[in-house]
Amino acid sequence: MYVVINGGGKVGSHLASFLLNNGHDVALIEKREGIVEKLTGELPGGVLVIHGDGCDAVYQDDAGVGRADVFVASTGDDDDNLVACQLAKVAFGVPRAVARVNNPKNERIFNTLGIEAISSTTIISRMIEEEATVGDLRTLISLRKGNMAIVEIELPIDRCVVCNKAVADLPLPVDCVLVALIRDDDVITVHGDTELLPGDVVIAFTAVEHEKALKKALTGS
């Protein structure tokens, strides 16, 4: 399968690595020059990294969207994700477009246009409503026949090893992405500059074999 990803942030870069490690061909489009340089050095050699705007047909063409099986828009801007997916569908005829949706109110717009919308807030809300398990590390949803999972980890109140640090600076295991925090009664979408606080409940997307390593990285035990 050939997948083109627009957006080289934490979500896009981890997705690119995961797909490549599972035998898929991947191209990634990123418009921030500094991030492109970082991705070029960090991502596996099989990922094609293109410096450009994924909302521009020129760069989608460079990435080979016309032959892609899936186009994924993973930036933190819903408008950009919508434009990029529409361009991939209309101009290049990609059979499947998937978008990260940061504001769940926008999900209906994406779905109406035939774009698969993934809102972490909506997913987490459903998890909270359906929660029925015990323990500080709980596998809430198993994906890809058990290879990937969404897990929940509660940070300790005392001696928190990751608290008051930006998520982008945390030494997380590979194939692990922090999706959101539950803090008191609020659900907070995680970005690179998000700081963790004692008692936060972290929702993460991880390879099942890295669950224990992720827990140790976040809790120290």
Res 126: pLDDT: 52
pLDDT digits (tens, 9 = 90+) for 65-110: 999 999 999 888 999 999 999 999 999 999 999 888 878 788 889 9
How far, CA to CA in Å, does 208 sit from each of 18, 58, 142?
Answer: 13, 38, 9
H or E segment and range at residue 41? helix 33-42
- % pLDDT > 90, the chain: 35
pLDDT digits (tens, 9 = 90+) for 18-42: 788 778 899 999 999 999 999 988 8
8-state DSSP, 195: B
Cα distance between residue 38 and residue 16, in whole Å = 14
Res 124: pLDDT: 47
Contact (Cβ atoms closer than 8 angstroms) between residue 186 and residue 218: no
Domain range list for the chain: 2-118, 124-219
Res 189: pLDDT: 79
Residue 138 pLDDT level (bands cut at 50, 70, 90): very low
Measured in residues, the chain has a length of 221
3-state secondary structure 130-178: HCCCCCCEEEEEEEHHHCEEEEEEECCCCCCCCCCCEHHHCCCCCCEEE
Better pLDDT: 56 or 100: 56
Q: Which amino acid is at 129?
A: E
Cα distance between residue 97 and residue 189, in whole Å = 22
Better pLDDT: 196 or 135: 196
Per CATH, the architecture of 2-118 is what? 3-Layer(aba) Sandwich (3.40)
Q: Which CATH superfamily is domain 124-219 in?
A: Regulator of K+ conductance, C-terminal domain (3.30.70.1450)
Q: Tell me the pLDDT of the chain averaged across its residues.
A: 83
Res 120: pLDDT: 59
Model confidence at 207: pLDDT above 90: no
Closest CA to 75 of 158, 191, 185, 207: 191
